[in-house]
Structure formats: C-alpha cells, structure tokens
Amino acid sequence: EVQLVESGGGLVQPGGSLRLSCAASGFTFSSYWMHWVRQAPGKGLVWVSRINSDGSSTSYADSVKGRFTISRDNAKNTLYLQMNSLRAEDTAVYYCARATLRHNWFDPWGQGTLVTVSS
C-alpha cells in the first residue's frame, strides 16, 4: 500500500524555522517527483514546491521562494521541507503528495501536518 506520512509540524514564532518530513512507503520513492501543498485553516489548497525524482531540480511558489527549501533522501525514502523566516501567513496544514508519472498530478496525499506561526 502506498503511504505518505508527514511529521515535524508544530508551533513556531514568527521568524523561526521548522523542517517537515514526509516518509514514503509502498512504492519506489526514487522514481517519482514529489510535492508539498498547504492549506490555511478554512481556506483552499495552495501548491508550495516540487522536486524531481533525483533531487536535481526544484521549483517553488512565489510566496515561499527564498525562504523554503525542498529536498529528498532517496536512500531513506523521505521528502523534506525546510522552512525559514516563517510568517503568520505560513500557518497551514502542509501535505506531501506523490506526482503521477504522466502529467504530474498529485496522487496520493499524506494526511498532513499542522504548522502554526504565532508569538
């Protein structure tokens, strides 16, 4: 069974840092692009970042560019999101999602981890 499990969320002060992890199992992790998507409380889905299968290429939403870094460890079947200079508006549930091999849709998704940025 394909499974994605996020961890690392929590309460952090504005300006602080946090690293999210997404542990993958049930598939050949190193063959798939991966994504992070976030959802602020009561709001819609917002794509955050993506990384290709070997980690050599990444892209980011403008709202997080220069502050967030996506990475992966294919030996550990784990995806990461390093979040620096956090702002109140970064408060959200963060989901990791696997990209489909064709056309890069998101399937499946993890259950999400909540990040709260507040003093």
25 near other proteins, rule: CB under 8 A: no
- Grouping H, G, I as helix, E, B as strand and the rest as coil, residue 88 is helix
Name residue, tokens 């892209």: 59
Tokens, residue 70: 């996506």
Closest CA to 81 of 32, 107, 48, 108: 48
Among 8, 21, 27, 47, interactor with other proteins by CB under 8 A: 47
9 near other proteins, rule: CB under 8 A: no
106 near other proteins, rule: CB under 8 A: yes
- Residue 105 has phi, psi (to 5 degrees) of -85, 170
Pairing relationship of beta strands 113-117 and 92-99 according to DSSP bridges:
antiparallel
27 near other proteins, rule: CB under 8 A: no
104 near other proteins, rule: CB under 8 A: yes
> Contact region for other proteins (CB under 8 A) — 13-21, 24-32, 37-45, 83-91?
37-45
Q: What is the binding site for other proteins (CB under 8 A)? A: 35, 37, 44-47, 50, 59, 61, 95, 100, 103-112
